[in-house]
Every structure is written in C-alpha cells, then in structure tokens.
C-alpha cells in the first residue's frame, strides 16, 4: 500500500529548507552536489524528492547536510504508519556489546537512543539491569526493563523530559544521520551520560560515502546529515568528550543478510552501480538505497565523558 498517496496537501508540503550548517551555523561551503535520486522509499511509501534538494559540505566543521528535509510532523506520521516494517533486524550486536564490556566493568545502566523494537536492549539484558530507551514513538514490540524508563521524543529536542538519573552507557546506532539539531542532541547526550560514562555512536561516514555512486546513503528520506571522523572529533571536543576510538565498519544491516547474498550484492554494485540501482528498482526494492554495498562506510565511535572529579588515573 502506498501511504504517500494518503498524505494531505499540507503534509506533503511539510519540508524544511536548510540554509546553514545545522551543527555550526556557518554558511561556508566546502563542496556541494545535487541529490541524484528522484524518489525516497520509506517503509511502504514512495515519496518524490523535492526538486532542488542538494548536499552541502560545511566549509567550517565539514558536516555534510541536505538542503531540503522532511519536517518532524511528516517524518513522525510516516514512521507511525510503517513501524511494523521499520528497523526490525535479527542483528545480535555482539561486536558492540564486546566493545562496551571491554570499557565498562561490572553491572551498568544503558539507554538506547532510537531503540525501535528493543533488539539491542534485549541483547544487553545479561549485562545491564537498568535498560531504557528514547524514541519518537513507543514501538509496540519494545519492552524496557522494570527499573528503566521510556523517553518519548526526538534526541535533539530542546526540552527533553526524563528521569534526570544519568546512565553509564548511552548508545545511538544509526541515529546521528537523522538529527535536525545536532547541537541539542549532543547537549542532551552530555546530560544522559554520567561523568566517565561511555557514548557509542554508529553512523555513516561521509568520507567513505562520497566515494560511491550518487551519495546513496543520503538518498534515504530520513537521513539529513552525514558525519566524518573530522566533524565527530570537533563535536566531541565541543561537548566535553574524549575519543576512545573511531573505526570504520559495515552497516549492521549488511551483516544480517546471508553471506552469499551480501557478496553478490557487493559484486553487482562494484561492477555497475547504475545497473545495481536499476535492477533494485525493477524488483520493487529500495531502488535508491542499496544495502551499504561493498563498503565499510559506517563509523563506530566510542566517546568517554570527561570526569572532572577524577584527577588521578583510574586503578
């Protein structure tokens, strides 16, 4: 079913024009490109890309941002309409959990930003008793733990309402590309995590994505910005985080498809990106969004919040 056709005229026109860098407010431009896709595919919806949608790399902080993005109302409505099919995955998060456990000893508390159906929180059950979630809506299949909380809202909301009891670990997998206001998001994260606590972020890497056909990562309806090691490092410094590690990785979605299928997709994409897009469109799949084919085009970033009370190195 095509939900896009059920949108009212007002909803269809709920697009925002972005005229300065959403992170640093600079209007300086290092480079720019047109977004090649004509349609966004989101859940079951097919939404025309507004004419004139471009990609700009900020000349000041190097963040890449889209110049026309859907407003929060439009995004929320389509998310609610398609939640059953959105962001469900059987990915086990083993690599992420191992990283976290190597940095944090003993029992800890965790909040997952954009928890969707709670797949990551479920995987964390053996290690974290207090397991909480923040999301724009409470997915029907999500359960937070008995002593956890569910925070309804956008991470970049300027007035986030929550328990005010901070966490040892804050995770944000595939969230940072959705931000409208990265400054408010970082401000909120800095409050959500305890001094000395960890923030684990996974998001697209602009420096890897730009080498591919059509900036496919940005042809997603809900992807507004794209970070890089440089822009992340700047944000970490601005908000009082120390960088523990920044590494490239495959998108987690790619790791859940059968290996042979994944390899075939990557091969097809490497042979002919255009042909790959064409075949996907013919098959009725996300024509504009191949599943991160062939590239470690994501970043896994681990940050630690500075702890001013701890002058001596930990034992």
Footprint of Zn ion (CB under 5 A): 21, 23-24, 26, 58, 60-61, 63
* Shortest distance in whole angstroms from residue 24 CB to Zn ion: 3
Are the CB atoms for 179 and 225 separated by under 8 Å? yes
* Shortest distance in whole angstroms from residue 19 CB to Zn ion: 12
Per the DSSP assignment, residues forming a β-bridge with 45 are 42
Burial of 11 (0-12, 13-18, 19+ CB in 10 A): middle
Q: Closer CB to Zn ion, residue 99 or residue 178?
A: 178
* Shortest distance in whole angstroms from residue 65 CB to Zn ion: 8
Q: What is d(CA 142, CA 116) in angstroms, rounded to the nearest whole number? A: 7
Q: Which residue has the tokens 């790791």?
A: 255
Residue 225, SS3 per DSSP: strand
* Shortest distance in whole angstroms from residue 234 CB to Zn ion: 9
Q: Closer CB to Zn ion, residue 59 or residue 166?
A: 59
Q: What is d(CA 263, CA 276) in angstroms, rounded to the nearest whole number? A: 13
Cα 277 from chain centroid (whole Å): 23
| 3-state percent helix, strand, coil for the chain, nearest multiple of 5 | 30, 25, 40
* Shortest distance in whole angstroms from residue 278 CB to Zn ion: 35
Element (H, E) at 186: helix 182-192
Q: Closer CB to Zn ion, residue 91 or residue 215?
A: 215
* Shortest distance in whole angstroms from residue 162 CB to Zn ion: 28
Q: Closer CB to Zn ion, residue 27 or residue 274?
A: 27
Q: Closer CB to Zn ion, residue 27 or residue 38?
A: 27
Q: Closer CB to Zn ion, residue 58 or residue 142?
A: 58
* Shortest distance in whole angstroms from residue 302 CB to Zn ion: 23
Q: Closer CB to Zn ion, residue 58 or residue 235?
A: 58
Element (H, E) at 281: helix 273-282
Locate 289 and state its tokens.
Answer: 């969004």
Pairing of strands 15-17, 68-70: antiparallel
């Amino acid at each position: 079913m095509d939900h896009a056709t059920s949108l009212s005229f007002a909803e269809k026109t709920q697009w925002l024009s972005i005229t300065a860098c959403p992170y640093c407010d600079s209007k300086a431009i290092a480079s720019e490109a047109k977004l090649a896709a004509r349609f966004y595919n989101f859940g079951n919806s097919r939404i025309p890309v507004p004419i004139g949608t471009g990609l700009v790399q900020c000349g000041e902080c190097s963040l890449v941002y889209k110049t026309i993005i859907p407003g929060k109302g439009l995004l929320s409505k389509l998310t609610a309409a398609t939640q059953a099919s959105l962001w469900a995955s059987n990915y086990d998060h083993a690599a992420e959990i191992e990283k976290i456990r190597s940095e944090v000893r003993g029992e800890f508390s965790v909040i997952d930003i954009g928890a969707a159906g709670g797949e990551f929180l479920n995987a964390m059950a053996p290690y974290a008793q207090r397991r909480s979630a923040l999301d724009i809506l409470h997915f029907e299949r999500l359960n937070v733990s008995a002593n956890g909380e569910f925070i309804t809202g956008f991470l970049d909301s300027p007035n986030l309402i929550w328990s005010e009891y901070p966490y040892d670990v804050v995770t944000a997998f595939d969230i940072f590309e959705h931000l409208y206001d990265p400054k408010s998001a970082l401000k909120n994260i800095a409050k959500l995590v305890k001094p000395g606590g960890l923030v684990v972020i996974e998001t697209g890497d602009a420096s890897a994505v730009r080498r591919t056909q059509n900036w496919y990562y940005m042809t997603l309806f809900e992807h507004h910005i794209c970070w890089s090691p440089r822009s992340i490092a700047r944000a970490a410094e601005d908000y009082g985080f120390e960088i523990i590690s920044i590494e490239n990785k495959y998108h987690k979605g790619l790791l859940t498809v059968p290996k042979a299928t994944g390899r075939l997709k990557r091969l097809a994409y490497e042979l002919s990106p255009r042909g790959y897009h064409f075949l996907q469109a013919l098959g009725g799949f996300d024509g504009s969004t191949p599943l991160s084919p062939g590239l470690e085009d994501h970043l896994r970033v681990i940050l630690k919040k500075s702890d001013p009370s701890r002058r001596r190195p930990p034992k």
